[in-house]
Amino acid sequence: MKYGITVSTMATEKRPATFGDGRAARHLPGIKALGYHGVDLFIKPLPEGELARLEEALRSSGLEVSVIFPIVVFESGLVLSDPDRERRGEAVRLFKTQIELSARLGAKIVLGLDRGAPAAGESHASFQDRFAGSLRELAAHAGERGVEIVMEPIHRYLIDSFHRVEQCLEFFERPGLDSVRLLLDTFHMNIEERSIEEAIRLAEGRIGHVHAVDNNRGAPGDGHLDFPSIIAALRDTGYDGYLSVETQPEKQPFDTARRGIGVLRRIVDSLEAGAPGR
Ligand code: LER
Ligand code: MN
């Protein structure tokens, strides 16, 4: 497994960036020193000079960008399922620019709130028809550039679409969506899934990224989720990608980062050694 943590390139209080003060580059060496392999990056379009400086900071830290969150789409008031054809097209166009950015940074790209949800009184089926049209176009665009789209089931209090793994897998059966994978976030799964481990098993072969977050949106170990059991289930599926810590912005982010990787590593190491990670 690899370890990641969320970092924002702009100051934020409401997005789940553990490092939320916007000074991403300055934190990278310390994150690397804790043993992390990569950062999940909240990023907006940046002027070329700033982007080049960020790339240089990443290169010299030795950290990968595991995923980017293309927040410009949702923050522009656009969603990929907008009933208005022009606005939907604009959302797709903007998302494609962020696929280019993902390709440049060697990262996967997260599909979250920017999918949208059914309009008032609309059925999920017709919402999904529109969304599938957009996503098919994005999946082709991403595929040509070697970028993977990872779609995140998100809990019901944030969005009225795709809360559970099963719903995503059923949707992915539509034509042109076979390259889209899942971003499993244990915080959302704890609210929505009957069993986190069963949902992980259901997702076998389709897991592209994991947010390892406790039930209170703290680092693993800060709440009461059973991470030894969750990580054992992930390993059983053959998943060996990122476990990324994604908390609310923290006042002492390095303390959170140290606790998070400490807990994850202890579990992974003991599973690898064949012992239960408690
Ligand atoms: C949203 O709640 C979330 O978990 C993040 O990964 C952003 O999509
Ligand atoms: Mn998440």
Rounded CA separation 129/135 (Å):
10
Atom of ligand 1 lying closest to residue 211 CA:
6
Interval between CA 95 and ligand 2 midpoint (Å): 18
| Residue with CA closest to ligand 1 atom 7 | 112
0.95 exceeded by pTM:
yes
Interval between CA 14 and ligand 2 midpoint (Å): 13
Which parts of the chain are beta strand (E)? 2-8, 38-43, 64-70, 108-111, 149-151, 181-185, 207-211, 242-245
Task: Give the chain's residues under pLDDT 50.
Answer: none
In which element (H, E) is residue 158 found?
none
Interval between CA 51 and ligand 1 midpoint (Å): 23
pLDDT of 277 reads 53
Could you tell me if 183 and 210 are in contact, meaning their C-beta atoms sit under 8 angstroms apart? yes
Pocket mutation for ligand 1, best pick of 67, 69, 168, 215 (most atoms within 8 Å of C-beta): 69
pLDDT of 14 reads 87
pLDDT of 119 reads 94
Q: Is the CB of 154 under 6 A from ligand 1?
A: yes
- CA-to-CA dists, residue 120 to 88, 116, 129, 143, angstroms: 17, 12, 16, 33
Pocket mutation for ligand 1, best pick of 5, 71, 149, 211 (most atoms within 8 Å of C-beta): 211
pLDDT of 117 reads 98
Rounded CA separation 240/269 (Å):
13
CB contact set of 33 (below 8 Å; sequence gap of 6+): none
pLDDT of 278 reads 53
Amino acid at 278: R
Interval between CA 33 and ligand 2 midpoint (Å): 24
